[in-house]
């Protein structure tokens, strides 16, 4: 049960108290991004005393540089999609209790080419056969679901009711306050973790101790454990995104909107027999979409602003942390917006904000987790799935490590300098 306000520790920027012989906390989470918050929530729900340490005044990484889509439809049918759906359940309960804006409006994948319609038809058949509740709807029904869909050339769409929208900036800014007040989680912002030694965490402000440490620091994990990420072949992905001003007169997009290019991107569609033909057409007609890894989607936050994107630029495996440009590329924004207008209509598509984000990816796994040393757990490399899977992944990870689905001693005994635990769903 949540703790009363009187029992809660304060959200503060105070210096740590000197470490004693007994750990100050059951758990210390490094990073207050979406994965760190998910772990803190899962731990606090178990009645544990939790501290979260964040190097910035609030998390500034990939957790605030995304669509704000909780997007189970992008996961491979089976275990991964089921995890996405479970994560959605946790998210919706948490957002409701925290009083944070969200909209469980579902999603539309729209087809404006015959090959896109064929892939969606194939995927729908596969999903229904496996018991998933999705609808393949004609053009007229699509337009009844959303006034944002461009009717010109529209063939059909795939409607899923399972997706939800949040504003990632609002979530990352306000969720710590709720976790503190309702669950007693303590937050220390503006403290950079300089080193971890067993139960000790040394920060720029002093030292903390905890029975277990959870490193959920995204691409900043390379600062603490670069050799682990290097051995795993982890690599960064840079994405560019855009945001409009609030739409006028209360205009609403309805469900999240995704175009045919998206079918190339998500593993959920990988098993469709005619996907290769669609990919070949895109490569032939618009090769720059492949060059910059562009697929186009749109979501809307509670203020009415549209978030639009995105691109995916990867460094070569032999040079994982270079030479992606640290600057936005104008041609990418133009390609995204030109394509968006073929699938979507809105009152005002003038761009108010532009940004790029960087996240870590694993070459073969949906995410990477390991014991960096006894009592120190790393979870990173979740790529573009962080908002969707974070709550489910955090819940699973905590349960495994704490021995709820196995022995905690057995987990720690599997630690070595050369290999860690990697109980991770594989990509399809």
Q: 19-45, pLDDT tens digit by residue?
A: 456 789 999 999 999 999 999 999 999
Q: Which tens digit of pLDDT belongs to each residue from 324-345?
A: 788 899 999 999 999 999 999 9
- 10 Å Cβ neighbour count for 389? 30
Give the CA distances from residue 219 to residues 66, 227, 323, 407, in Å, rounded to whole numbers and listed in that order: 15, 13, 16, 30
Q: Residue 218: left (phi > 0), alpha (psi -120 to 50), or beta? A: left
In the predicted structure, residue 318 carries a pLDDT above the cut 80: no
Nearest to 357 by CA among 334, 324, 395: 324
DSSP 47: T
b/e 283-297 (16+ beta carbons within 10 angstroms → b): eeeeeebeebbbbbb
* E-only strand ranges, 293-350: 297-300, 305-309, 313-314
| Residue 235's pLDDT band (cuts 50, 70, 90) | confident
Strands 200-203 and 193-197: antiparallel
The residues with which 202 forms a beta bridge, in sequence order, are 195, 207
Q: Which tens digit of pLDDT belongs to each residue from 121-135?
A: 999 999 999 999 999
Domains identified in the chain and CATH numbers: 5-63+168-232+365-413 (3.50.50.60), 107-161+235-361 (3.30.9.10)
| Residue 108's pLDDT band (cuts 50, 70, 90) | very high
Which burial class, exposed, middle or buried, applies to 302 when counting CB atoms under 10 A from its CB (0-12, 13-18, 19+)?
middle
- 10 Å Cβ neighbour count for 57? 11
Cβ atoms of 85 and 134 within 8 Å: the answer is: no
Cβ atoms of 411 and 377 within 8 Å: the answer is: no
d(CA 194, CA 57): 17
pTM: 0.89
């Amino acid at each position: 049960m949540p703790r009363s306000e009187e029992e809660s520790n304060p959200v503060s920027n105070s210096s740590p108290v000197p470490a004693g012989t007994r750990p100050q906390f059951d758990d210390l989470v490094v990073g207050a991004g979406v994965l760190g918050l998910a772990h803190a929530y899962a731990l606090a729900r178990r009645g544990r005393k939790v501290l979260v340490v964040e190097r910035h005044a609030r998390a500034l990484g990939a957790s605030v540089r995304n669509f704000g889509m909780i997007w189970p439809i992008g996961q491979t049918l089976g275990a991964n999609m089921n995890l996405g759906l479970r994560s959605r359940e946790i998210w919706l309960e948490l957002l409701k209790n925290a009083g944070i804006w969200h909209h469980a409006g579902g999603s539309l994948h729209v087809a404006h080419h015959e090959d896109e319609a064929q892939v969606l038809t194939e995927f729908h058949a596969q999903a229904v056969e496996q018991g998933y509740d999705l609808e393949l709807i004609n053009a007229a029904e699509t337009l009844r679901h959303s006034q944002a869909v461009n009717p010109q050339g529209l063939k059909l769409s795939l409607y899923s009711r399972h997706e939800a929208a949040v504003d990632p900036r609002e979530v990352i800014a306000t969720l710590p306050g709720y976790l503190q007040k309702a669950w007693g989680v303590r937050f220390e912002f503006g403290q950079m973790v300089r080193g971890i030694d067993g139960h000790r965490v040394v920060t720029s402000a002093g030292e903390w101790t905890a029975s277990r440490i959870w490193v959920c620091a995204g691409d900043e994990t390379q600062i603490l454990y670069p050799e682990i990420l290097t051995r795993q072949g982890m690599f960064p992905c840079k994405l560019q995104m855009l945001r409009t001003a609030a739409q006028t007169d209360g205009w609403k997009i309805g469900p999240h909107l995704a175009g045919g290019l998206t079918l190339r991107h998500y593993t959920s569609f990988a098993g469709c027999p005619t996907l290769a033909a669609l990919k070949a057409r895109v490569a032939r007609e618009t090769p720059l979409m492949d060059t910059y890894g562009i697929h186009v989607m749109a979501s809307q936050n509670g203020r009415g602003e549209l978030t639009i994107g995105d691109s995916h630029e990867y460094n070569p495996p032999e040079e994982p942390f270079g030479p992606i440009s640290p600057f936005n590329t104008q041609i990418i924004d133009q390609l995204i917006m030109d394509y968006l207008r073929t699938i979507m209509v809105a009152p005002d598509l003038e761009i108010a904000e532009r940004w790029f984000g960087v996240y870590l990816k694993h070459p073969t796994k949906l995410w990477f987790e390991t014991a960096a040393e006894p009592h120190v757990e790393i979870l990173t490399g979740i790529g573009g799935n962080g908002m969707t899977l974070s709550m489910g992944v955090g819940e699973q990870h905590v349960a495994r490590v704490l021995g709820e689905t196995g022995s905690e001693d057995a987990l720690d005994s599997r630690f070595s300098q050369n290999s860690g635990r990697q109980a991770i769903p594989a990509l399809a």
